[in-house]
Amino acid sequence: MMQGFRHIEDATLDYDADRCIGCGNCLAVCPHQVFELGQGKAVCRDRGECMECGACALNCPAGALQVRSGVGCAQAILHAWLARIPLLRRVFTPDACCS
């Protein structure tokens, strides 16, 4: 879908097809069309497109989706690391970007 815009192929997205009830919520929320509907169940079309935003897992009423979600933002990750250091904890807060 996003040609030229792929980052990693092994996102932490985990889909359990046995639990899927075919509601289609994951298709609606996914910004990269990772899922498609086939035979009354969601089918993982392309895991390499997943950006781990967590929208599908949060909106799956059957609990069929798991993902280690977060923002793919270097500044946020850097601040989270710095906030673990005792003295710097006063200055940096984890996940602090876009503020």
Partner 1 sequence: MKLPDVFKTVLVRLGIGRDSYRIAPGLYALGSPDTDSPVVVTCNFKLTFDILRRELAGRSYWLLVVETYGINVWCAAGKKSFTSEEVAQRVKESNLDKVVSHRSIILPQLAGPGVSAHRLRKLCGFSGVFGPVHIRDLPRFIDAGMQAGPEMRTVKFPLSQRLAVAFVELYGARKFLLWVLLACLLAAALGPGGFSPVKILSAGLGAFATVLTGFLTGVFLVPALLPRIPFRAFAAKGLLAGAIIGLIPAGLLAGTLPQALAQIMACSAFASWFAMHYTGSTPFTSLSGVDREMRRYMPVQGGLLLIAVLVWLIWSWL
Among 43, 44, 53, 83, binds partner 1 (CB under 8 A): 53
How far is 68 from 75, CA to CA, in rounded Å? 18
Nearer to partner 1, 39 or 99 (CB): 99
Scan for tokens 């035979």, then name that residue.
39
Q: Which of 43, 66, 70, 82 binds partner 1 (CB under 8 A)?
A: 70
* DSSP code per residue over 22-59: ---HHHHH-TT--EEEETTEEEE--GGG-----HHHHT
Tell me the C-alpha distance between 51 and 72, whole Å.
7
* 25 lies in the site for partner 1, by CB under 8 A: yes
Query: Counting contacts by CB under 8 A, is residue 71 touching partner 1?
Result: yes
Residue from 17, 21, 28, 88 binding partner 1 (CB under 8 A): 28
Nearest alpha-carbon partner for 36 in 11, 9, 17: 17
Note whether 8 binds partner 1 by CB under 8 A: yes
Chain positions contacting partner 1, by CB under 8 A:
1-8, 10-12, 25, 27-33, 49-56, 58-59, 61, 68-78, 95, 97-99
